[in-house]
Amino acid sequence: MKNQLAAMVKTDQVAAFRWEKQWYGYKDSVFTAHKVQVEKLFKQYGYLGFDKVGKDGSDNFWLIVQHCDKFPGFQKKVLRAMDKEVQKKNANPKNYAYLYDRVEVNAGHKQLFGTQVEYDVAKTGRAFVKNGLTDSVNVDILRKKYDLNPLKEYLNIMTTMHYEMNKARYQGMGITKPSIYE
């Protein structure tokens, strides 16, 4: 199973990092095919935690599920099972936070952890929390419990990455460095 998950992630990452319109069909077919495979594994073995496939295998399983946005019902099932495994320290709490927020954003709700971002592409390139937060006052306390860095730090990392990937565009707009939060 570990090798199967690792091979899926290699293909997944090729698809995930292609934003050109002509790649959308490929991306969709990869994510759909992988969903079918991991759903079979999930039905047979339950959540693939550290005890079943090791840390890397469990992270790979989560990543495939994370990209199953066309299948929110499946993501929710895995999320419920993952919550139990996180409580038993058999799954990565950081991954749980990302999947939890992904499910919430895909349902049009606010986020708990602030892991899903959008960018102000028209003006600054700055990352911001997609759909907002359910509790902005206590978000860093919760993020710490799930092994996440403080939200401002995370948003600055995401802003910097986005800027570097789109540097020529932003420099053409007169923006010479990432617009980070102070």
The pLDDT of residue 47: 98
- 85 and 3 inside one domain: yes
- 16 and 54 inside one domain: yes
Does residue 100 sit within a domain? no
- 131 and 172 inside one domain: yes
Answer yes or no: are the C-beta atoms of 118 and 130 closer than 8 Å: yes
Does residue 43 sit within a domain? yes
- 31 and 66 inside one domain: yes
The pLDDT of residue 65: 97
Distances (CA, A) of 139 to 86, 120, 129, 142, 162: 19, 22, 12, 5, 23
Contacts 24+ apart (CB under 8 A), 9-17: 9/60, 9/63, 9/64, 12/63, 12/64, 12/67, 16/67
Count how many domains the chain has: 2
The pLDDT of residue 15: 80
Ranges of the chain with pLDDT below 50: none
The pLDDT of residue 18: 67
Q: Which of these three, 26, 60, 89, is where a domain ends?
A: 89
Does residue 67 sit within a domain? yes
Answer yes or no: are the C-beta atoms of 95 and 47 closer than 8 Å: no
- 118 and 180 inside one domain: yes
Does residue 30 sit within a domain? yes
- 17 and 84 inside one domain: yes
The pLDDT of residue 17: 75
- 85 and 158 inside one domain: no
Does residue 35 sit within a domain? yes
Q: Which two tokens stand for residue 101?
A: 């927020």
Q: Which of these three, 89, 119, 150, is where a domain ends?
A: 89
- Strand partners for 36: none
Q: By three-state DSSP, how is residue 119 classified?
A: strand
Q: Which two tokens stand for residue 181?
A: 């939060």
| Radius of gyration of the chain from its Cα atoms, rounded to whole angstroms | 17
- 56 and 124 inside one domain: no
The pLDDT of residue 157: 98
What does residue 16 show for φ and ψ, rounded to 5 degrees? -65, -30
| Residues 116/159/137/140 CA torsion (nearest 10 deg) | 80
Does residue 64 sit within a domain? yes
CB neighbours (10 Å) of residue 151? 19
- Looking at residue 67, what DSSP letter applies? T
The pLDDT of residue 164: 94
Q: Which domain holds residue 69?
A: 1-89
Does residue 104 sit within a domain? no
